[in-house]
Chain A
Amino acid sequence: MYGGGNTFEGIKTDSLAQEDPIKLSEFEARIARGEKIEPKDWMPQLYRKQLIRMIEQHAHSEIIGALPEGTWITRAPGFKRKLALMAKVQDEVGHAQLLYSAAETLGKTREQMIQDLISGKSKYSNIFNYPAFTWADACFISWLVDAGAIVNQLANAKGSYGPYCRALDRICAEESFHLKYGHHCVIYLASGTQKQRSMFQEALNRWWPPMMHFFGPADKISAHTEVLMNWKVKMSSNDDMRNQFLDMYVPKIWELGFTIPDPNLKKNNATGKWEYSEPDWEEFRRVINGDGPCNKERLEVRRIAEERGQWVRNALRSRKNLYVAPLA
């Protein structure tokens, strides 16, 4: 589950002037023909750096994203929901494994990625820094956060880097169950008692602002983003993905009789675009930089898991074997 958002900020445009112009134009022609780039192919440094950053953030988002929902496994209402939620959380952790491998093919080791997550150097999807107070919050995540992630992942699956696209194809196929399961849970709450309905309405009120942050602030149009779009690293603008999400899911939320906590939310039929109150980007930045309700807990849980597992890994490890990066 990952929505982009923070991916493309903060990297200074590396000078493309240092790259071999002939190789660079061959590389760009390959992408323009719709061919994928594979690990052993020549690629510009900037391409490699941005992809590592993007795939790594995506992997971290899967592994951290399992935490707020995982909270509810022990308290899921009924055996069937418990089985489904366990399977979903296991899927998310499996997605992290696929994505870490894809990032590794570009030359960053998994040890380094995990270290950078725990130390706070690498980011993950900001929405997981918020708590899941009730079962309805878990349902919101399963349905709508996954829906947002699918919008982003389907776009990225058409990107140019082979190993990332192949991992995403597999991930998207698995996510279709998450989305249907989440919608099913919300239909049951919506058609249940008044108490169940208000439980979901409250969850919706809590999660709407972070959901609007999910795709990130409007892109600054710069030469830099243009290059990334030409290279099919960035596949769609943040605003376009947000609009696509609203288009697909606001009617479904309204259909169930819930209110979205934004009086300005409406579709402009002339432009085909959704209008909404400007999300609080100040809060977005504050939370992403560590000052959110759950940042500390999320990283601490990861850190403790790493620390508690270390003796097991040490005991299993064979010291004569040598690491090589995965092939594809």
Chain B
Amino acid sequence: MKSLDPRVKRLPEIGTGKRPSAVDIHDQFETFEVFVQPKPGKPFQHEGAIHAPNLEMAYIFAKENFTRRFTCISLFVVETRNVHVSAMTEGNQNVYDVLTQKEFPKGEKIPHEIFHLIKRGKQHVQVGSVEAASPDEAMAAARKQFDTGAVVFNIWAIPKKDIRYTSSDEADLWLTLPEKKFRDATDYKGGQKLKEFLDRSK
């Protein structure tokens, strides 16, 4: 291809100019939800979504996309369909008051992470974990443990077995972040150079 860009000039010509062939509807993989812990002692909060072919790759992409530029101490990912979502309420309606289910199927109790949305427009924030045989039961259990009466608009329950956590030996992934000054706005102080230039051109 004719171009000013040496890299483009080196590109092999593959099927030049043809329209993209019909791609598989799942060409871009599934989506995973990304949660980040900004500081020690702070809860995890939802940051966004990432596309990946599996949980491990999702973890790597999430690390690159969400924690490359901002310091954090931990990250976890979970496939979107494994996040169980309650109804969404508004105004002064606490979502715990609209959960009416009382009977749950019996089964082995497993731990679930619980997230609350306490302000519309903001992120879901982790409040803790509960043991339950199903996500619905987990929300009912969360009511006993975390419902303070303050309005919660939406609850997410995620079985811990579906989550890819950061292990303790991976925690140094983010140690070099503060050293990478070249992507920090404060590292570009042109003031002195500008002043010298202005003084010279007077």
Q: Do A and B bind each other?
A: yes
Name A's B-contacting residues (CB within 8 A): 30, 35-36, 38, 40-41, 67, 70-71, 74, 80, 83-84, 87-88, 90-91, 94, 97-98, 101, 104, 109-111, 114-115, 118-119, 131-133, 162, 165-167, 170, 173-174, 176-177, 179-181, 183-184, 187-188, 190-191, 255-257, 297, 300-301, 303-304, 306-308, 310, 313-314, 316-319, 321-328
What are 22 A-B contacts defined by CB distance under 8 Å?
Answer: A40-B88, A88-B183, A97-B51, A101-B48, A101-B49, A101-B50, A104-B31, A174-B69, A180-B185, A180-B186, A181-B185, A187-B193, A297-B5, A304-B14, A307-B14, A307-B15, A317-B24, A317-B53, A323-B26, A323-B30, A326-B33, A327-B85
The closest CB in chain B to the CB of A307 belongs to: B14
Decide: A119 near B20, CB < 8 A? Known: A165-B121, A187-B190, A313-B29: yes
Q: Give the CA-CA distance A83 to B50 in the complex, in Å.
A: 25
Q: B94 contacts the other chain (Cβ, under 8 Å)?
A: no
Q: Give the CA-CA distance A94 to B123 in the complex, in Å.
A: 20
**Across chains A and B, which 4 residue pairs bring their CB atoms closest together, nearest first?**
A326-B49, A36-B121, A191-B197, A316-B53
* Inter-subunit contact B185/A323 (CB<8 Å): no
* Inter-subunit contact A297/B1 (CB<8 Å): yes
The closest CB in chain B to the CB of A90 belongs to: B68
* Inter-subunit contact A257/B201 (CB<8 Å): yes
Task: Give the residues in chain B near A310, CB-CB below 8 Å.
Answer: 23, 27
Task: Give the residues in chain A near B193, CB-CB below 8 Å.
Answer: 187-188, 191
The closest CB in chain B to the CB of A40 belongs to: B88
Decide: A91 near B69, CB < 8 A? Known: A313-B27, A322-B81: yes
Task: Give the residues in chain B near A40, CB-CB below 8 Å.
Answer: 88
Contact with A along B30-60 (1 / 0, CB 8 A): 1101000000000000101111011001000
Q: B92 contacts the other chain (Cβ, under 8 Å)?
A: no
* Inter-subunit contact A84/B182 (CB<8 Å): yes
Q: B17 contacts the other chain (Cβ, under 8 Å)?
A: yes
The closest CB in chain B to the CB of A35 belongs to: B120
The closest CB in chain A to the CB of B69 belongs to: A174
Q: B4 contacts the other chain (Cβ, under 8 Å)?
A: yes
Q: Which B residues between 163 and 200 are near A, CB-CB below 8 angstroms?
A: 180, 182-186, 188-190, 193-194, 196-198, 200
Q: Which of B29, B46, B79, B180 contacts A317 (CB 8 A)?
A: B29
The closest CB in chain A to the CB of B6 belongs to: A74
Task: Give the residues in chain A near B183, CB-CB below 8 Å.
Answer: 84, 87-88, 91, 177
Q: Give the CA-CA distance A273 to B192 in the complex, in Å.
A: 31
Q: Give the CA-CA distance A133 to B5 in the complex, in Å.
A: 9
* Inter-subunit contact A166/B48 (CB<8 Å): yes
* Inter-subunit contact A118/B20 (CB<8 Å): yes
* Inter-subunit contact B4/A132 (CB<8 Å): yes
* Inter-subunit contact A101/B121 (CB<8 Å): no
Contact with A along B5-27 (1 / 0, CB 8 A): 11110011011110110011111
* Inter-subunit contact B53/A323 (CB<8 Å): no
Task: Give the residues in chain B near A303, CB-CB below 8 Å.
Answer: 20
* Inter-subunit contact A167/B48 (CB<8 Å): yes
* Inter-subunit contact B15/A115 (CB<8 Å): no
* Inter-subunit contact A41/B30 (CB<8 Å): no
Least CB distance, A189 to chain B, in whole angstroms: 11
Task: Give the residues in chain B near A74, CB-CB below 8 Å.
Answer: 6-7
Decide: A318 near B54, CB < 8 A? Known: A98-B65, A297-B3, A306-B20: yes
Q: B138 contacts the other chain (Cβ, under 8 Å)?
A: no
Q: Which of B51, B121, B180, B185 contacts A35 (CB 8 A)?
A: B121
Contact with A along B60-90 (1 / 0, CB 8 A): 0000110011100000000111010100101
Q: Which of B11, B81, B196 contacts A324 (CB 8 A)?
A: B81
Task: Give the residues in chain B near A327, CB-CB below 8 Å.
Answer: 33, 46, 49, 80, 83, 85, 156
The closest CB in chain B to the CB of A84 belongs to: B182
Q: B28 contacts the other chain (Cβ, under 8 Å)?
A: yes
Task: Give the residues in chain B near A319, CB-CB below 8 Å.
Answer: 26
* Inter-subunit contact A111/B20 (CB<8 Å): no
Contact with A along B101-135 (1 / 0, CB 8 A): 00000000000000000001101100000000000
Task: Give the residues in chain B near A180, CB-CB below 8 Å.
Answer: 185-186, 188
Q: Give the CA-CA distance A94 to B51 in the complex, in Å.
A: 12
Least CB distance, A233 to chain B, in whole angstroms: 16
Task: Give the residues in chain A near B121, CB-CB below 8 Å.
Answer: 35-36, 38, 162, 165
* Inter-subunit contact B194/A323 (CB<8 Å): no
* Inter-subunit contact A328/B46 (CB<8 Å): yes
